[in-house]
């Protein structure tokens, strides 16, 4: 039909072109040909209108069609250490499915070479842990799949890399995965997107990519997590007089009904600036001549409460609109929850941190000092099933130091509330007299049978055994027996010190291959920072 109309259009144009020469014809011939010219022009106009209408109808039919061949499925794989990547992947999958796209949501560790060869399109949401490494659950993918070159020319892919710029190897695993995909010949749908501690601008870029992949049908926003209001009910220093920096126990109570969480969960908190610091910053602006309206000063005060404060020197002489642009949102902070849902409260354990200038870090400044008792905090509970409870019948070995006992305490309380045993806790700090965190509670658990073994070590008290890894070596026989009986390991604490030393000691005692197998099976899990 379309082809015939095009031929008629061409014929009409030819008639009109020929009639341009009618000046050489007799008068009667000219009058007749004018009718032919009018008919040709009308035919041209009608044909053009029909073509435009047909094009519009085809466009409207295509608005709801998938841009991909029918029957294809998005492989959406995540590699998560603390649960953030899982959350974003789940929300991304829900958004694509809502637009009619088929999605196969998988843990990256379960993806093999054949899966990638069969796939034509894939999205990856991956975190980085340790010294630029893949999360534990993705180690199998790294060793089995990424260890060798793979031809994947049919695969279209994109990578969202999660990280924190405070760590030197920012988004390193995301970059390594992207480079490997490109070497495999995969077509990159979008340059790698880096997300710094939940940065909303980067997540908005990811949503834009998902929208383009879904075609013209609008998709739901890859929404940020829902934050609830929690009241700071109690704050106490757990280690007064310690050689180390103060450790604060914070207890928060929900202001409304909240969903239960599983032991191992993470609390994400929106930080605020210390009001005294904001006042000093505003006064410094006034002192150097800033002249804004009363409404602008009020807006600036509200914004400054939730943002990083630029140096006053960089703000000198700036119009109000330019100054507001300099106020970047404060990052969020993640903390291991030290209590269970059955407790009805969230307990957090925070050690004060100091900048090179001696100032408190952002999280400590707000939560350990500036936030008043009775004030509310914006908090989101994120499940972290990578660090969750093992089967009730499996033995559990808990290993940690310092504030790492927070996540271990939640796991132990969860096990005791379910009557699961046997349980063994290995814990280290500086001084028994100052740093025996939750000691009364742990001794009671030992007496009641909730704990079968409690081994503690304090590095500044002297003696041959000073660190957690030394305790492991001293208890090597029991450790191997528990592992043979199917024990799971949960390790929580500093990645650079305790985490690295414990990992090296476990490799020495169990063997690298055996430890790797425990990790691949999910029996060895870490929550290190």
pLDDT, tens only, 467-507: 999 999 999 999 999 999 999 999 999 887 899 999 999 99
Half-sphere exposure of 496 (CA within 13 A, CB side): 3
Give me the pLDDT at residue 223, please. Answer: 62
377-420 confidence digits (pLDDT tens): 999 999 998 899 999 999 999 999 999 999 999 999 999 999 99
* Residue 306 banded pLDDT, cuts 50, 70, 90: very high
Q: Beta partners for 377?
A: 230
Answer for the pair 304, 281: CB distance below 8 angstroms, yes or no.
yes
Q: Beta partners for 104?
A: 75
Q: Does residue 30 have a pLDDT over 90?
A: no
The reply to whether domains 226-270+330-383 and 385-528 share a CATH topology is no
* Residue 222 banded pLDDT, cuts 50, 70, 90: confident
Assign residue 173 a region (left: φ > 0; alpha: ψ between -120 and 50; beta: otherwise): alpha
43's CB contacts (< 8 A; 6+ apart) are: 8, 9, 12
Q: Does residue 447 have a pLDDT over 70?
A: yes
**Residue extents of the structural domains in the chain:** 2-62, 74-213, 226-270+330-383, 273-329, 385-528
pTM of the model: 0.79
| Least confident stretch, 8-17, 230-239, 265-274 | 8-17
* Residue 38 banded pLDDT, cuts 50, 70, 90: very low
**What CATH number should be reported for the domain whose range is 385-528?**
3.40.50.80
Take residue 145 and report the two structure tokens written for it. 């799949």
175-218 confidence digits (pLDDT tens): 999 999 999 999 999 999 999 877 778 888 999 999 888 876 67
Give me the pLDDT at residue 441, please. Answer: 98
301's CB contacts (< 8 A; 6+ apart) are: 278, 282
More confident: 19 or 69 = 69
- Over range 298-320, report the average pLDDT: 94
Task: Give the fold, CATH level 3, of 226-270+330-383.
Answer: Elongation Factor Tu (Ef-tu); domain 3 (2.40.30)
Percent of the chain with pLDDT over 90: 67
311-350 confidence digits (pLDDT tens): 999 999 999 999 999 998 888 889 999 999 999 999 999 9
Answer for the pair 157, 189: CB distance below 8 angstroms, yes or no.
yes
| Cis, bond preceding 502 (omega within 30 deg of 0) | no
342 vs 261, 339, 410, 414, CA distance in Å?
A: 9, 8, 11, 9
Answer for the pair 422, 395: CB distance below 8 angstroms, yes or no.
yes
| Dist. CA 498–CA 5, nearest whole Å | 79
- pLDDT, mean over the chain: 86
Q: Which of the 8 DSSP states describes residue 523?
A: S
Q: Which of the 8 DSSP states describes residue 459?
A: G
Q: Which of the 8 DSSP states describes residue 102?
A: -
| Dist. CA 235–CA 369, nearest whole Å | 9
94-113 confidence digits (pLDDT tens): 989 988 889 999 999 999 99
Answer for the pair 215, 74: CB distance below 8 angstroms, yes or no.
no
Q: Shortest CA distance to 490 belongs to which of 513, 514, 519?
A: 519
The residue to which tokens 């260890």 are assigned: 147
Q: Give the class (CATH, top level) of 74-213.
A: alpha beta
């Amino acid at each position: 039909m379309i082809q015939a109309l095009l031929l008629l259009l061409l014929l009409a144009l030819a008639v009109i072109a020929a009639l341009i020469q009618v000046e050489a014809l007799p008068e009667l011939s000219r009058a007749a040909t004018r009718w032919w010219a009018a008919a040709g022009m009308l035919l041209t106009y009608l044909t053009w209108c029909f073509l435009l209408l047909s094009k519009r109808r085809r466009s409207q039919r295509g608005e709801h069609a998938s841009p991909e061949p029918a029957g294809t499925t998005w492989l959406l794989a995540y590699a998560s250490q603390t649960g953030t990547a899982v959350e974003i992947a789940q929300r991304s999958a829900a958004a694509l499915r809502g637009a009619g796209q088929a999605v196969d949501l998988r843990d990256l560790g379960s993806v093999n070479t054949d899966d990638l060869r069969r796939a034509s399109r894939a999205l990856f949401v991956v975190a980085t842990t340790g010294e630029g490494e893949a999360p534990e659950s993705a180690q199998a993918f790294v060793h089995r799949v990424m260890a060798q070159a793979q031809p994947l020319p049919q695969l279209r892919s994109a990578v969202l890399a999660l990280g924190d710029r405070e760590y030197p190897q920012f988004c390193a695993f995301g970059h390594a995965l992207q480079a490997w995909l490109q070497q495999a010949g995969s077509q990159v749908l979008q340059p790698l997107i880096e997300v710094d501690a939940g940065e909303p601008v980067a997540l908005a870029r990811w949503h834009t990519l998902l929208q383009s992949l879904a075609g013209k049908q609008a998709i739901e926003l890859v929404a940020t997590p829902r934050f609830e209001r929690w009241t700071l009910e109690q704050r106490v220093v757990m280690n007064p007089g310690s050689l180390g920096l103060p450790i604060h126990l914070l207890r928060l109570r929900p202001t409304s009904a909240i969903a239960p969480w599983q032991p191992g969960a993470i609390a994400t908190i929106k930080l605020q600036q210390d009001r005294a610091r904001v006042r000093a910053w505003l006064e410094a602006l006034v002192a150097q001549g800033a002249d804004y309206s009363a409404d602008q000063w009020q807006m600036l005060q509200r914004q400054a409460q939730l943002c990083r404060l630029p140096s006053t020197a960089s703000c000198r002489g700036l119009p109000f609109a330019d100054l507001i642009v300099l106020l970047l949102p404060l990052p969020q902070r993640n903390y291991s929850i030290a209590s269970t849902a059955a407790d009805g409260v969230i307990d957090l354990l925070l050690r004060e941190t100091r900048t090179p200038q001696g100032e408190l870090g952002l999280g400590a400044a707000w939560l350990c000092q500036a936030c008043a008792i009775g004030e509310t905090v914006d908090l989101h509970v994120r499940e972290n099933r990578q660090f969750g409870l093992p089967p009730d019948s499996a033995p559990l070995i808990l290993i940690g130091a310092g504030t790492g006992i927070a996540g271990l305490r939640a796991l132990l309380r969860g096990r005791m509330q379910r009557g699961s045993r046997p349980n063994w806790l290995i814990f280290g700090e500086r001084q028994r007299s100052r740093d025996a965190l939750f000691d009364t509670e742990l001794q009671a658990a030992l007496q009641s049978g909730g704990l079968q073994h409690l081994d503690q070590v304090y590095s500044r008290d002297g003696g041959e055994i000073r660190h957690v890894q030394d305790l492991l070596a001293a208890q090597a026989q029991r450790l191997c027996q528990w592992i043979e009986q199917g024990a799971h390991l949960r390790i929580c604490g500093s990645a650079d010190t305790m985490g690295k030393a414990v990992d090296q000691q476990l490799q020495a005692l169990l063997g690298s291959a055996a430890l790797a197998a425990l990790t691949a099976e999910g029996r060895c899990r870490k929550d290190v920072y």
